[in-house]
Structure 1
Amino acid sequence: MPSKSKATIESIQHILARKGFDPGIIDGIWGRRTEAAVKAFQRSKGLVADGIVGPVTWKALFGDAEEQAVADNPAIPWFQEARRLIGVREKVGPGSNPVLIDWADKAGIDYDSDDIPWCGLFVAHCISATLSGESLPGNPLGARAWQRFGAAGPRTLGAVLVFWRGSRDGWLGHVGFYAGEDSSAYHVLGGNQGDAVSVTRIAKARLLDSRWPATAPMTGAGPLVLADGDTFFSTNEA
């Protein structure tokens, strides 16, 4: 899924800096300093200081400049972080990809080997790196634990989707972000899909829950309906 989100975030960082709000390094990555700069700007304008660049904050920053395409929406920074990481893979053979270990260290998660399923770790990283006030579930490595994350939400870009794996009544699961849907499958942007961060199709019948961060306003974008395809269903994401 081609992304202009990096350029969008760079534009936000540039204009924050020009207005005197320090976003840190202008790198197109949504981190804690960028979030803090947005909050400071929002407070200066009497806006709700949630650190999210929704339509009102976008207009305060850019005036009447055209908003970005739905998929590049800066109001879902965790989803943009997920898109940035497409292609990251676990290490084949002995040892682990240090990128994954770094995600765990920064999120305060006990994780020392990418042989351990890491779909929950990926989601935890994307959320914690972009939403500083958001609480993670008690066991973020457990996919089904994400059914207790945030609040119930619609299936729209950036929503956290929780699936059963093996058996609906078992304990195995998978978690990732909603990236669209066709008539029979959700398109899921997640980690540990083919041992990498990727987008895959998962049968709609496997869905357990759709969640939304408690600290981020819902975008109201609704479902993103894509053309039916004949690509395979993912059946085992570990």
Structure 2
Amino acid sequence: PTRCEGTPMTVLELQRALQQRGFAPGPLDGIFGRLTRAAVLAFQAREGLAGTGLAVAATLARLSATSELPAEPVWLAEARRWMGLSEIVGPRSNATILRWGQAIAKWYRDDDTPWCGAFVHAQIAATLPDEPLPANALWARGWTQFGVGLATPALGAILVFSRGTGGHVGFYVGEDAKRLRVLGGNQSNAVTETWIAKGRLLAARWPKTAPAPARGRVASAATGRLSLNEA
């Protein structure tokens, strides 16, 4: 269809609105395909709307209401597309995770190898082609030298955490008094959002080639337990 059913908005206008807010609807072609539906779902998830994937009246109204809000950074919108992707139990491995790992190191052969850094690398590489990336992006603590430092987290910031003698890396999406809400890979063996204690934070970084953060700290009332060991 070329028009959102029951509304005056065309699909092309919907795609442009989603893109302006940091979501990735695919080509601006006026066709409501899988990428556009995924972008609608991601927007609905962020706004707490029913996840229909359809451009229903409530979704279009919220798109209009958020027109003055800073859009999510494009790499965070891309990361949201992969929510729910998980490792495969047993000897097989998820082909997407393998592709992410092998883009960094040819020796990467199974999704049991930690891949939080590969997930972050894939999203930055896909959306910021001129951004310098860590030499060993599989090493989570290596991201402490990525981009430029932030005194306080901002939506989409790359957060690096201690994890025993190793580390963990993901994207900032919110916080409460004692915890940071992180969208990342290799969290319960999948791409998820989880809570991580603020005391574990080593660094908050921002891409050099991206505009400065449009908004700072984000309060989150999301539910869920504190993550103690991302894997």
Q: TM-score by structure 2 length?
A: 0.71
Aligned in 2, Cα 1:6/1:209: closer, same or farther, shift over 3 Å?
farther
Is it true that 1:180 corresponds to 2:174 in the alignment? yes
Cα distance in structure 2, aligned partners of 1:152 and 1:119:
20
1:8 aligns to what? 18
Matched-pair contact (CA < 8 Å) for 2:134–2:146? yes
Offset from partner CA, 1:173-224 (integer Å, 9 cap, x none): 0000001001110000000000000000000000000000110011230110
Give the SS at the match of 1:99: helix
Paired-residue identity, %: 44
**In structure 2, how many angstroms separate the alpha carbons of the residues matched to 1:174 and 1:115?**
15
Structure 1 pair 236–108 and aligned structure 2 pair: CA distance change class (3 A)? closer
Query: Cα distance, 1:70 vs. partner?
Result: 4.8
Match of 1:109 in 2: 105
Residue of structure 2 equivalent to 1:193: 187
Q: Against the structure 1 CA distance between its residues 11 and 68, is the aligned structure 2 distance closer, same or farther, given a 3 Å change threshold?
A: farther
Letter in 1 for 2:18: T
Runs of 4+ in 1 over 6 A off after TM superposition: 4-7
The answer to whether the aligner puts 1:207 opposite 2:215 as a matched pair is: no
Runs of 5+ in structure 2 lacking a partner? Answer: 1-13, 40-63
Structure 2: how far apart are the matches of 1:142 and 1:193? 15
Partner of 1:233: 226
Q: Quote the offset at 1:98 in angstroms.
A: 0.4
Say whether the 8 Å CA contact 2:25–2:35 is kept in structure 1.
no
**2 CA distance for matches of 1:195 and 1:127?**
20
Q: Aligned with 2:196: secondary structure?
A: strand
Separation in 1, partners of 2:15, 2:202: 29
The CA deviation at 1:104 is: 3.2
| RMSD of aligned residue pairs (Cα, Å) | 2.9
User: Partners of 2:120 and 2:222 in 1: how far apart?
Assistant: 26
| Residue pair 1:183, 1:228 contacting (<8 A) in 2 also | no
In the superposition, the TM-score normalised over structure 1's length comes to 0.69
- Quickly say closer, same or farther: Cα 1:174–1:202, change in 2 above 3 A: same
The question of whether the paired residues in 2 share the 8 Å contact of 1:128 and 1:134 is answered with yes
Contact 1:182 1:228 in 2 (8 A): no
SS of residue matched to 2:229: coil
Q: How many residues align?
A: 185
Q: Distance in 2 between matches of 1:193 and 1:5?
A: 30
- What are structure 1's unaligned runs of at least 5 residues? 19-24, 31-64
Q: Secondary structure at the match of 1:192?
A: strand
